[in-house]
A and B are shown apart, each in its own frame.
Chain A
Amino acid sequence: MSWIALRMLTGDRAKFLGIVMGLTFAAMLIAQQGSIFCGLMLRTCAQIEDITGADLWVMDPNVNFIDDVKPMVEANLYKVRGVEGVEWAVPLYKGLGRAKLTTWRWADPGSKVVESQRTKVQEDIIEQVVMLGLDDETLVGLPRKLWVGDFRDLWRPDAIIVDRVGLRKLFPGQGGDHSTDPAFLQSFLGRELEMNDRRAVIVGICEASRTFQTFPVVYTTYSRAKLFIPQERKPMTFVLAKAVAGVDPERVAQKIEAATSLKAKTSQQFLWMTISYYMKYTGIPINFGITVVLGFLVGTAIAGQTFYNFTLENLKQFGALKAMGLSNIRIVWMILLQAAVTGLLGFGLGTGAAAWFGSATRGGELAFFTPWQLLPITGAAIVLICILASILCVRRVVVLEPAIVFRG
């Protein structure tokens, strides 16, 4: 009977496509919007993931998320180092700085004046940057990937490392916004910026995860970062620490909190703390949730209505099959099989379209990340739509009297 069920389903192509399209739409919207939501949430804590080498983040007790910068006195670094179970602890500066880039352009673009007589004018670009000041000695917190340059060059005077994507903000209109061509990136080495009236020289181009604020990310040493920002009494924002091998970092974090009255979190805890903050205090989950729910409802409406109409139009055929001796259980099986096949197709096409969308926008501004958990969630939503659509149809067919076939 499976064969007959499938032939009935695919025989009416318009309705078949209508059901599949409805489910595809729902699956695509749920997967795509879910992925954008996850991508955005990941961006909120991108810098936590980017900092390598440390197990623990120690911060002011009132810090709620990574960008909630509340400076601490440097004495706290020594307190943390004194806690049992801490192998090492280093300072980290994280804050916003201003980078000024001076460029020259022709004063009279497009004029027919000969080049020797044309004048150049100075043009300053001021761009806000996320500044990360790493421990001078160990450089703990370096990015995972350096496209060009050498990390050790950070010890050179005025040295900074800039993230690849941030280049297009710092040097707008210079082409190759997303280029990973080493020769192209190499051309930025040695270029100078001005931060807090101090010279900064680019010695490397790294890969950093996109941040929620979208500002360029600048890495330098902790002591130099203090120079690149206006003078502050308490410059240290975080202490990065490593637990002694074999000791649970969570326990060490508890000890740090007890001993210093500071807040201490493992990287994972801090990551979820940041995500939780954005989930709780911004409208992002609600906005995406509404879109996902709308996708679910529209998908249910389209697929459910079309599936129900499909069943209604085949009611006489179902009646004839019942008259010929097909039991209700087998008819229910036929309907569920039809729902399952359309559901599977809709799920495959919808998530495929979402994956294509994610692939097509990779490297762009759009935050897109699909955790594996999103696929079963989308699948469950599609199963739910199919069940809702089937319930009405099953009920209608089960109560159908086979004698209907003898009515005109």
Chain B
Amino acid sequence: MSEPSSVRNEMAGVVAEPGLEGEVAIRLRSVSKTFGVGEQTVHALRGVDWDIYRGQLTMLVGPSGCGKTTLLSVVAGILDCDSGGVVEVFGADVARMRSGAKTRFRMDNIGFVFQQYNLLPALTAMENAAVPLIIAGISRPLALQRAREVLTSLGMEPRLHSLPSQLSGGQQQRVAIARALVHEPRLIVCDEPTAALDHESGQAVMKLMREAAVKADRSVLVVSHDNRVFHFADRMARMDDGRIVQIRTQTAFTHETVAEDVWEAAARS
């Protein structure tokens, strides 16, 4: 499946390179989001059209304030876009869902990895990882058992009973990844997962993410500023001023060229 023509137009002549396209997981059409009214209005998203595919790790990059996090929030169903937009996630029209249905949809289908981990400080690593299952109504022993398995697969077995305050940043992010994976969601959204980590931990976290999260029936969407982890992406979209301005596949970019693009965009902004 190729990129929609409208996206090509939006990209101002930059044509996405072919390859790695598969079944569409997320379909965005005319997605806009404005904050404030009158002179205070901020156009965070300006009619975004974009398809994100299954079985891929897609990275969303761009300068600060370009709308990456807003787009991620809209895709994840935690922020409503303006009326008229289409946000289809695995066939479900998230934009038109009622609040309760959207909450249930997130519970069943979406895993979150946050920049600041957002682990519950009073719970151990295993308990934190089990939270999505407990929210879904799974019994505590079963949830903890499943969390143990996922954490073990991420190399966290020795720290199962540690509190977040007793873990390093990299370890906390692994717990957060385990929490995002534990209920087998179809979409995993990550907001700057390596921003708070050193280079080595960042690489390790992204490597884990690729190995554990990317599956044929799942899509992983990562917002990142960190050019050192761009090479983990199957596909990369660059945003600027509320629009997707460039989409590249892994074969088309290198660490250096993408970094240049991003820094150029950042400088422009």
Contacts and interface: CB of A to CB of B under 8 A. Distances in A.
B107 interface: yes
A402 B112 CA distance: 12
A324 B107 contact: yes
A408 B118 CA distance: 11
B9 to A, nearest CB: 28
Contact of B106 (A4, A317, A323): A323
Contact of A7 (B79, B107, B123, B191): B123
Interface centre among B110, B115, B127, B135 (most CB of A within 10 A): B135
Interface string B109-130: 0101011101011110001000
B120 A7 contact: yes
Nearest to B100: A327
Given A323-B78, A323-B106, A405-B112, 4 more contacts: A7-B123, A325-B107, A403-B79, A406-B78
A9 to B, nearest CB: 8
B114 A320 contact: yes
A4 B114 CA distance: 20
B1 to A, nearest CB: 28
A77 B76 CA distance: 91
Interface of B: 69, 72-73, 76, 78-79, 100, 103-108, 110, 112, 114-116, 118, 120-123, 127, 131-132, 134-136, 140, 191
Contacts of A233: none
A316 B118 contact: yes
A407 interface: yes
B121 A11 contact: yes
Contacts of B112: 320, 323-324, 405
26 contacts: A3-B140, A4-B134, A7-B120, A7-B127, A8-B120, A11-B121, A316-B118, A317-B121, A319-B118, A321-B131, A321-B135, A323-B106, A323-B112, A324-B106, A324-B112, A324-B135, A325-B104, A325-B107, A325-B132, A327-B103, A402-B78, A405-B78, A406-B114, A406-B191, A407-B69, A408-B115
Contacts of B110: 324-325
The binding surface of chain A is classed by DSSP as helix
A11 B106 CA distance: 27
Nearest to B72: A406
Task: Give 9 nearest A-B pairs by CB, closest first.
Answer: A11-B122, A325-B107, A320-B118, A402-B78, A403-B79, A403-B73, A325-B106, A7-B122, A406-B69
A10 interface: yes
A12 B123 CA distance: 11
B268 to A, nearest CB: 22
A154 B172 CA distance: 86
A1 interface: yes
Contacts of B69: 406-407
A401 interface: yes
B204 to A, nearest CB: 23
Nearest to B68: A406
A224 to B, nearest CB: 75
A326 interface: yes
A405 B122 contact: no
B120 to A, nearest CB: 5
B135 A325 contact: yes
A408 B123 CA distance: 22
A312 B107 CA distance: 24
Contacts of A321: 131, 135
A408 B191 CA distance: 10
A38 to B, nearest CB: 41
A402 to B, nearest CB: 4
Contact of A326 (B114, B116, B121, B135): B135
Contacts of A405: 78, 112, 114, 118, 191
B123 A4 contact: yes
B108 A325 contact: yes
B193 to A, nearest CB: 12
Contact of A324 (B72, B132, B191): B132
A405 B110 CA distance: 14
B108 to A, nearest CB: 7
A8 B122 contact: yes
A8 B107 CA distance: 20
Contacts of A4: 120, 123, 131, 134
B45 to A, nearest CB: 13
Interface string A191-221: 0000000000000000000000000000000
Contact of B136 (A316, A317, A325): A325
Contacts of A1: 134-135
A316 B135 contact: no
A332 B192 CA distance: 30
A317 B108 CA distance: 19
Contacts of A406: 69, 72-73, 78, 114-115, 191
A401 B118 contact: no
A336 to B, nearest CB: 18
